[in-house]
Chains A and B, each alone.
Chain A
Amino acid sequence: MSLELKNVEKKVGIDTHIHPTSLKLEKNTINVLLGSTLAGKTTLMQIMAGLDKPTSGEIWFDGKNVTDMKVQKRNCSMVYQQFINYPNYTVYENIASPLAITGVKDDEIKQRVGKVAELLKLSAMLNKKPDELSGGQQQRTALARALVKDSDLILLDEPLANLDFKLREELREELPKLFEDRDCIVVYATTEPSDALMIGGNTATLLEGKVIQYGKTLEVYNKPENLISAKVFSDPPMNIAEITKRGDNYKFTDNNVQWKSSAKIKDGTYKIGIRPHNITTYKEGNNSVEINGKVQISELSGSESLIHFTNGNLNWVSLSNGTQQKNVGEDTKLYMNTDEFLYFDQNNRLVNNG
């Protein structure tokens, strides 16, 4: 079982929503579509579900061309950012609805709904209506509806985006477990890199209707093929600067910070990508380099400190562990972990990927 998009393209009028995309999703995998709003995540999912038809290209499922197959005939389910449930059905009826429509027997419905409700901690509220539930419970009901039928394809379109922080963390931890022993392909769209990292599986980075990179989540994160993919998969935003390399010596073009590295790249100028958590107020790793900065913004978020600072003409974002109290305007020293630097050539391709 696999879902394959072959050169799928979607145009609406003169706008291209999805540029020709080929993607193969394998059985029993969770696939994250990662990209900002309007990157084409939802359109791509609707094409996968059959809710929307591609302008050109084909969709193959399980070795069959399903491009023209209606959504009702495909065995898929979808969960949305908004909590979509039938408003005057009870939770039980809501969860049972996909089964009832396909004519499953009452006994079996009861048993399956009971099982899913338990899994999603809804057993106590089966007789309530969606309006009486909290946002988290409403979304659990929607998830239960998606899980109760044995779908081949489960699409989750930013399911946690409308939940508050606590509920989101809780549900995010549970989600991968829910799909563990299911025979299906899960697609999960999100705008947040941290979601992708927590869920694991595979990740496709998207920008402006293009799939930039697809692969194992950690690989995409650690070895982004190119600068765009790296940018999409970085929050807070990645620091980007120009450097020159001569022999063993590396140096920023715009300041005097220098370091040595064993990266196997040719002499020349490169773009460098540094994730904020690799610039810290303390030394990390064996090969760190010091940089002076003037603090612009300092935000404490409990366990982490986000410090924006300038050095010469360059703006930097750093993320340190713990509470690092800095005053705005203060001159401070920060350390960059050179082992984690990503070097990109003039075509924005990663060069130190060996």
Chain B
Amino acid sequence: MNKTINQKAWYFVIPVFVLVAFNAAIPLMTVVNYSFQETFGNNVFAWEGTRWFKQILLSERFHASLGRQFAFTFIILLIQIPLGIAIALTMPKKGWGVPVCLILMSMPLLIPWNVVGAMWNIFALPDIGFLGHSLNAMGFDYNFTQQPGDAWFTTILMDVWHWTSLVVLLSYAGLNSIQPAYYQAAEIDGASRWATFRYIELPKMKKVLTLAILLRFMDSFMIYTEPFVLTGGGPGNTTAFLSIDLVKMALGQFDLGPAAAMSLIYFFIVLLVCWVFYNLMMKNEAQS
């Protein structure tokens, strides 16, 4: 066989290479570069090896913000997933209620993130905000700028308000793809509402739910804008999640080396969790 060899097709790959280089590889490599060196600006660098990585991994500050990050993500998943499913279950399946509900549900998703933060900041202000003022009027000592518990409560409430819709829309799509015959079969069997949910709706929603959990995990784990505008990480450091802490270190303290090391560690944690999650998902897929 005489094969003609034509490598011209590689030229078509060049634009992608350039694009990926500029938007991913080069910035990432800059960060890698910083993470192994010490710099005081003026392009003067001194080699530091893995010192920053060790420092970050051993620092209590990092442990604390990582802990806060996992706690936050865990709490919002725990609220948003069941709540999203519950709302999706109660949404109408036909008639004029469908577009109304869908539009209402999509609204929070369409609002820019910093606007969400600003909105909730004003909404929750103890003296003039509707939520803050009402809570205080009801006798609760509520002040999210001074009390850590209140700050967490407000941040979580804001995230639930902002993102539960995503879970709702995904679950709703999953529910709508179930053929009515399944419900009838369950009805004929005499299955209870709970059994119908447990053995028909939930298994049928498995795919969209894994997707929802994955998306919500990534988004909440990387959350920055909304808490930055709402609490700025405060009071103290109590709502300084990983990304907020990272920006404080990089831009506030100008500790570029440790900040670069921290971003890489942060990046690997996200990557690792997604990889584990993805594999679990695929394993489930292969089983069924």
The interface of chain A, by Cβ under 8 A from chain B, is: 46, 49, 51, 71-72, 76-78, 80-82, 84, 86-89, 97-98, 101-102, 129, 131-132, 145
Contacts and interface: CB of A to CB of B under 8 A. Distances in A.
Contacts of A87: 199-200, 203-204, 288
Interface stretch (B47-55, B128-136, B184-192, B254-262): B184-192
Interface in B193-244: 195, 199-200, 203-204
Given A80-B181, A82-B181, A84-B182, A71 B203 contact: no
Contact of B199 (A77, A81, A89): A89
Given A71-B188, A101-B191, A132-B288, 17 more contacts: A49-B184, A49-B188, A51-B188, A72-B190, A78-B184, A78-B185, A80-B181, A84-B181, A84-B182, A86-B200, A86-B203, A87-B199, A87-B203, A97-B189, A129-B288, A131-B288, A145-B189
B187 A72 contact: yes
A146 to B, nearest CB: 9
20 contacts: A49-B184, A72-B187, A72-B188, A76-B188, A77-B188, A80-B181, A80-B184, A84-B179, A84-B181, A84-B185, A86-B199, A87-B288, A88-B203, A98-B188, A101-B189, A101-B190, A129-B288, A131-B288, A132-B288, A145-B189
Closest 9 CB pairs of A and B: A72-B190, A87-B203, A80-B181, A88-B203, A84-B185, A98-B189, A86-B199, A101-B190, A131-B288
Given A101-B190, A131-B288, A80 B203 contact: no
Contacts of B199: 86-89
**Interface-central residue, B182, B189, B195, by most chain A CB under 10 Å:** B189
B180 to A, nearest CB: 9
B179 A51 contact: no
Contacts of A82: 179, 181
Nearest to A97: B189
Contacts of A49: 184, 188
Interface of B: 179, 181-182, 184-185, 187-191, 195, 199-200, 203-204, 288
Contacts of A129: 288
Nearest to B288: A131
Contacts of A102: 190
A51 B200 contact: no
A101 B288 CA distance: 25
A78 B184 CA distance: 9
A80 B189 contact: no
Contacts of B181: 80-82, 84
A46 B187 CA distance: 12
A71 B288 contact: no
Contacts of B203: 86-88
Nearest to A70: B187
Contacts of B182: 84
Nearest to A71: B187
A196 to B, nearest CB: 23
A89 B198 CA distance: 11
Contacts of B190: 72, 98, 101-102
A80 B203 CA distance: 20
Nearest to A129: B288
Contacts of A88: 199, 203, 288
A97 B192 CA distance: 12
A77 B108 CA distance: 45
A51 B199 CA distance: 20
A81 B179 CA distance: 11
Contacts of B189: 97-98, 101, 145
Contacts of B191: 97, 101
A240 B184 CA distance: 41
B188 A80 contact: no
Given A101-B191, A129-B288, A131-B288, A80 B200 contact: no
A37 to B, nearest CB: 16
A51 B288 contact: no
Contacts of A81: 181
A269 to B, nearest CB: 48
**Interface-central residue, A46, A86, A101, A131, by most chain B CB under 10 Å:** A86
Contacts of B188: 49, 51, 71-72, 76-78, 98
A51 B187 contact: yes
Contacts of A78: 184-185, 188
Nearest to A132: B288
Nearest to B190: A72
A49 B188 CA distance: 8
Given A72-B190, A84-B179, A101-B190, A51 B184 contact: yes
A88 B206 CA distance: 11
**Interface-central residue, B188, B189, B191, B288, by most chain A CB under 10 Å:** B188
Contacts of B195: 101
B181 to A, nearest CB: 4
